[in-house]
Amino acid sequence: MPSITWQKSSYCAQGEACLHVATTTVAKTTIRLTESGDPSGAILGASPGAFGSLLLMLKKGRD
């Protein structure tokens, strides 16, 4: 299993409702997402392009 170093969202306040993002040390072509409540549980994988599209849609939703 590749080593994963998680980075917590800069929008995360204190508590358990945070998003964590990481890439693997073996193949940096996959972005991984998980929540702080269960970081070893449900992990979503996406390509950098798909992750960028997700971020773009989330940012547009704030307008």
pLDDT at 56: 92
Name the token pair of 62: 């704030």
- Which tens digit of pLDDT belongs to each residue from 11-61? 776 666 788 888 765 655 788 888 877 767 777 888 888 989 988 998 888
How high is the pLDDT of residue 47? 84
* 1 domain-assigned: no
Instruction: Say if 29 falls within a structural domain.
Output: yes
Q: What is the pLDDT of residue 22?
A: 84
- Quote the pLDDT of residue 21: 85
Q: Is residue 54 part of a domain?
A: yes
What's the number of domains the chain is made of? 1
Q: Cα(21)–Cα(9) distance, rounded to whole angstroms?
A: 7
CA separation, residue 17 to residues 3, 5, 27, 39, 47 (Å):
23, 18, 27, 11, 24
What pLDDT is stored for residue 16 in this prediction?
A: 64
Match 């773009």 to its residue by tokens.
56
Domain that holds residue 26: 7-61
